[in-house]
């Protein structure tokens, strides 16, 4: 049996295989961030499809940290019953689900945040839609506490784990990056200082959830931007998070303005184009003791097996393939080892922007022709 289908454990969370559905904005929530029945059905299908762990779409911990429409929120106790239905549906289908926690920081705008966005520094950079306000120390403390409150809700409402979003240019990454962090206090300058916010968020979450609840992070290995976060600094941050007790690190890279080296690349149509964050993942794996996940263009089970058996990563994370094929994990385990049918066109996200919910537009077109 392939190592991909090993049974593993992350801090008391038993997983049936090494396949992870990487976090994906689904655009299936109400305007205030309340999850809908449609989203619950979406996750139920993923659980039935056999993926070892589902990571939800990015979920804002505080209203000013909201970015896109239809995005989940876990900033209020009012959504408890909706979330309990969601996690119950996943568990009834035999799945495990982690809630991804995020604050968009300067990567949102006044319309979505309801105020001038907040960021480490009030800088004008391509990845910010508008110039944000610089966070005060009190605001930094409040946001770190909001991550903790969100994680507490997630644990109480049935999630199996949480994952902090420390990638793709959102607030944790904004602190790590010298391009967006120009502070001269204890949060800026050296990588030790720029890592401080990430550690404080982790500590807030760990304090709220206890030692026996999995707390993971998705972390940029590099921003792939001139002046942005580079791999050596990311290795330092990853090492400090591992020392602090983080239970797993999902390695990613890029920001929305990283061009061809962004987080979600197109035309992944050959094995040699897959696993485009593997070099970053190898470096981070060498620096940490916790399990490491890699995301980025994985489509073939052979490439996935090599990542585990040869490169030493612990989990394979994918997003778009599971949009087209929720049952991909079951298909591979049953012996149909053809590569994922996703063509990496990103049409699924266009559907989310224009139609209020992601889906594979290619699959829909093919079904309509049958």
d(CA 143, CA 156): 20
The distance of Cα 233 from the centroid of its chain, to the nearest Å, equals 20
Which residue among the candidates 58, 83, 170, 202 is catalytic per the annotation?
170
Q: How far is CA 208 from CA 52, 205, 214, in A?
A: 25, 5, 12
d(CA 145, CA 219): 20
User: Which tokens sit at 319?
Assistant: 């997003």
d(CA 174, CA 182): 10
The two most distant CA atoms of the chain are separated, in Å, by 62
d(CA 53, CA 64): 29
d(CA 107, CA 128): 5
d(CA 225, CA 211): 36
d(CA 210, CA 215): 10
Which residues are within 8 A (CB) of 28 and not within 5 positions of it... i.e. 6 or more apart?
35, 36, 38, 39, 42, 70, 356, 357, 358
Task: Compute the CA torsion angle 59, 65, 66, 72 (nearest 10 deg).
Answer: 20
The pair phi, psi for residue 60, each rounded to 5°, is -75, 140
Q: Catalytic: 202?
A: no
SS3 279: helix
DSSP 339: P
Which residues have a catalytic role annotated?
Answer: 170
């Amino acid at each position: 049996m392939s190592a991909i289908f090993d049974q593993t454990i992350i801090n008391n969370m038993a997983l049936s295989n090494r396949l992870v559905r990487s976090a994906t904005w689904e655009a299936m929530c109400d305007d205030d961030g309340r999850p809908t029945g449609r989203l619950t059905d979406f996750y139920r299908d993923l659980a039935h499809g056999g993926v070892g762990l589902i990571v939800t779409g990015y979920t804002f911990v505080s209203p000013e940290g909201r970015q896109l429409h239809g995005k989940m929120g876990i900033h209020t106790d009012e959504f408890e019953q909706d979330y309990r239905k969601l996690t119950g549906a996943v568990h009834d289908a035999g799945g495990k689900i982690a809630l991804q926690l995020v604050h968009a920081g300067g990567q949102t705008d006044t319309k979505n945040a309801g105020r001038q966005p907040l960021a480490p520094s009030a800088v004008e950079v391509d990845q910010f839609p508008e110039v944000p306000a610089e966070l005060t120390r009190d605001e930094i403390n409040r946001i770190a506490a909001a991550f903790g409150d969100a994680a507490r809700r997630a644990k109480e409402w049935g999630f199996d784990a949480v994952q902090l979003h420390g990638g793709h240019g959102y607030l944790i990454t904004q602190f790590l990056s010298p391009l967006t962090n120009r502070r001269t206090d204890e949060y800026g300058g050296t990588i030790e200082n720029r890592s401080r916010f990430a550690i404080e968020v982790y500590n807030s979450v760990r304090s709220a959830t206890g030692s026996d609840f999995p707390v993971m992070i998705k972390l940029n290995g590099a921003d792939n931007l001139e002046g942005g976060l580079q791999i050596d600094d990311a290795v330092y941050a990853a090492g400090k998070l591992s020392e602090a007790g983080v239970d797993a690190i999902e390695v990613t890279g890029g920001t929305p303005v990283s061009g061809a080296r962004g987080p979600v690349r197109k035309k992944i149509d050959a094995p040699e184009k897959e696993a485009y964050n593997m070099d970053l993942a190898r470096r981070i794996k060498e620096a940490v003791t916790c399990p490491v996940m890699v995301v980025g263009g994985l489509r073939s089970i052979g490439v996935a097996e090599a990542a585990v058996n040869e490169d030493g990563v612990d989990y394979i994370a994918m997003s778009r393939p599971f949009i087209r094929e929720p049952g991909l994990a079951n298909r591979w385990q049953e012996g149909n080892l053809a590569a994922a049918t996703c063509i990496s066109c990103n049409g699924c996200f266009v559907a989310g922007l224009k139609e209020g919910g992601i889906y594979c537009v290619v699959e829909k077109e093919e079904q309509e022709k049958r």
